[in-house]
Amino acid sequence: MKTVELGRTGEQVSHLALGCMLMGTTTDEPTAHRMLDRYLDAGGGFLDTANCYGWFLQRGSRGGESESVLGRWMARGGRRDQVFLATKGTAMVRDPDAAWAGRDDPDWTIARRDFEGAGAQTLRRNIDDSLRRLGTDHIDLYYVHVDDLSTPLEETLEALAGIVRAGKARYIGWSNVRTWRLERIRGLCERNGWPAPVALQQQHSYLRRRAGLEHVSIVDDEQYDYLRHHDDLTLVAYSPILKGIYDDPAKREGHWAMDPYQGPDADARLAAVTEIAAEAGATPNQVVLAWLMHQERPRVVPLAGPRTLEQLEAALPALDVKLTEEQLARLDAAGA
């Protein structure tokens, strides 16, 4: 497992991070512990979770299941010092029961209207609760999970500065945020001497979102260009293989994960990645992960979030996929 610098902090993190969202709900605890052990054995150490994982995966969940599973795993054999631990606050809904009421799946309209937000009191409560569940005295990377337009940025950033000053978090990051807001955040941090984000966690894959789509969470051309010119921010890419659709043409037919990408550009890029996977003796999913890890401007850390040990085992060979300059050029050039 290679490492990559987080922003310009000097901190080296695993180039393939492990997303722990499903642990404790969709993935039972014994399986989660086996996956964590396997990732550690493969040389990995960058773990990503959030305080809200996973109220939306299981009716009756209050959030915090993933953090609790990680806390128990780290306590077993003193693993805390072996990992770089990231978690998030601000996105938990106030009343998950209302979002689930009478439905087979949660109502995201209710959830997006009723999330806790990034007020100072909420942030201080969120991180203390996360520290308790995780069984640690500090978080290595603490994200604002959902950009909160209703709370003054000054309030959020001053609270985060206090959290860092108190030693409860080492670095801060932001997720699900537009570029203009990111620039404003960075400007306020510079003017006030507050710690600035060193990581941006957004949805990012080999496919590019379709033209005209408004989507706060998927990297667009402007944001990608911004990151190319600001190497103090590392892009942590969630959903890098889009639920595994690259490997399975039948799966991507009508799959919700494909909806933001549908069109001729996606068709051309899917054809390119399939062709190069055959040349490389790898799966298309593995080639996508390898392509992301080949990126240098900006640096990208793909975040694999497997549900099963088998899915993790299928992702790990991407670490050994070597793409030639010619193959990388063809992948980059594919599409409209």
Model pLDDT, residue 137: 97
Beta bridge partners of 149: none
Determine if the peptide bond prior to 54 is cis (ω within 30°).
yes
For residue 49, the one-letter residue type is: T
DSSP notation for 71-85: HHHHHTTTGGGG-EE
Model pLDDT, residue 335: 94
| pLDDT one-digit tens code per residue, 237-257 | 999 999 999 999 999 988 999
Per-residue pLDDT band for 336 (boundaries 50, 70, 90) equals: confident
| pLDDT one-digit tens code per residue, 176-186 | 999 999 999 99
Model pLDDT, residue 18: 98
Is pLDDT above 90 for 191? yes
The stretch 155-174 carries a mean pLDDT of: 98
Helix-strand-coil split of the chain, %, nearest 5: 45, 15, 40
Q: Where in the sequence numbering do the catalytic residues fall? A: 53
The stretch 110-117 carries a mean pLDDT of: 92
SS3 148: coil
Per-residue pLDDT band for 138 (boundaries 50, 70, 90) equals: very high
- Mean model confidence pLDDT for the chain: 96
Rg of the chain in Å (alpha carbons)? 19
Is pLDDT above 90 for 285? yes
Q: Tokens 């299981």 identify what position?
A: 58
Q: Count CB atoms within 10 A of the CB of residue 258.
A: 17
Q: Are 86 and 46 in contact (CB under 8 A)?
A: yes
Q: Are 63 and 91 in contact (CB under 8 A)?
A: no
The stretch 271-281 carries a mean pLDDT of: 97
Per-residue pLDDT band for 102 (boundaries 50, 70, 90) equals: confident
CATH of domain 3-333: 3.20.20.100
CA atoms within 13 A on the CB side of 243: 11
Model pLDDT, residue 292: 98
